[in-house]
Chain A
Amino acid sequence: MPHQCTDCGRTFEDGSKEMLSGCPDCGGNKFQFIPADAVDESVEANSPGDPPSRGSSAGAVSKAATTVRDWVGGGSDEPDRPSDRDGPASESPSGEWPKSGTEDYDTPAEKAAARTSDEPTASADASTTTDTTADTSTADTTADASPADTSTADAQSEAASTTHADPDSDDGSIHARTADDEDNAQASARSDVVSPDELPDGTATPPADASEAGGGHAAESGAATDHDAPGVAGPSPDVTDDRHEAADPADTQIEDRPDLDELRDELNQQFESIKILNPGQYELNLMELYDREEYIISLREDGRYVIDVPDSWRGED
Chain B
Amino acid sequence: MGLISGLKSSLQQVRESLFTEEEQKRIGIYGPPNAGKTTLANRIARDWTGDAVGPESHVPHETRRARRKENVEIERNGSSVNIDIVDTPGVTTKVDYEEFLDYEEFDQDEAVRRSREATEGVAEAMHWLREDVDGVIYVLDSTTDPFTQVNTMLIGIIESRDLPVLIFANKIDLDDASIKRIEDAFPQHETVPLSALEGENMDEVYDKIAEYFG
Residues of A within 8 A of B (CB): 273-274, 279-287, 289-291, 295-299, 301, 308, 313-317
Contacts and interface: CB of A to CB of B under 8 A. Distances in A.
Interface string B145-166: 0000010011001000000000
B18 interface: no
Given A295-B124, A297-B120, A316-B5, A281 B96 contact: yes
Given A281-B95, A284-B93, A299 B119 contact: yes
Interface string B4-45: 111011000000000000000000000000000000000000
A286 B2 contact: no
Given A279-B116, A282-B119, 9 more contacts: A273-B123, A279-B97, A285-B93, A287-B157, A289-B126, A295-B124, A315-B5, A316-B6, A317-B6
A313 B95 contact: no
B90 to A, nearest CB: 11
A282 B4 CA distance: 23
22 contacts: A273-B123, A274-B119, A280-B96, A280-B115, A282-B115, A284-B92, A284-B123, A286-B126, A286-B150, A286-B154, A287-B153, A289-B123, A290-B129, A295-B123, A295-B127, A296-B120, A297-B123, A298-B120, A308-B4, A316-B5, A316-B6, A317-B2
B2 to A, nearest CB: 4
Contacts of A274: 119, 123
Given A315-B9, A316-B5, A279 B112 contact: yes
Contacts of B120: 296-299
Contacts of A317: 2-3, 5-6
Contact of A280 (B2, B6, B97, B126): B97
B126 A308 contact: no
Nearest to B127: A295
B119 A284 contact: yes
A284 B5 contact: no
A290 B130 contact: yes
Interface string B107-131: 0000110011001101110110110
B157 A290 contact: yes
Q: Is the interface of B mostly helix, strand, loop or mixed?
A: helix
Contacts of B112: 279-280
B176 to A, nearest CB: 27
Contact of A308 (B1, B9, B98): B1
Contacts of B58: none
Contact of A296 (B6, B91, B95, B123): B123
A289 B2 contact: no
A279 B113 CA distance: 9
B93 A286 contact: yes
A290 B125 CA distance: 9
Interface of B: 1-6, 8-9, 91-98, 111-112, 115-116, 119-120, 122-124, 126-127, 129-130, 150, 153-154, 157
A314 B120 CA distance: 19
B153 to A, nearest CB: 5
A280 B116 contact: yes
Nearest to B2: A317
Contact of A289 (B9, B115, B127): B127
Contacts of A315: 5-6, 9
A296 B127 CA distance: 9
A280 B97 CA distance: 5
Shortest beta-carbon contacts, A-B, top 10: A280-B97, A280-B112, A289-B126, A317-B2, A317-B6, A296-B123, A282-B119, A280-B115, A295-B127, A290-B126
Nearest to B108: A280
Contacts of A308: 1, 4
Contacts of A314: 1, 5
A302 to B, nearest CB: 12
A306 to B, nearest CB: 8
Nearest to A273: B123
Contacts of B1: 297, 308, 314, 316
Contacts of B124: 295, 297
A273 B154 CA distance: 15
Contacts of A316: 1-2, 5-6
Nearest to B149: A286
Contact of B94 (A283, A290, A301): A283
B127 to A, nearest CB: 5
Given A289-B123, A289-B126, A299-B116, A284 B4 contact: no
Nearest to B129: A290
A60 to B, nearest CB: 70
Interface centre among A280, A281, A286 (most CB of B within 10 A): A280
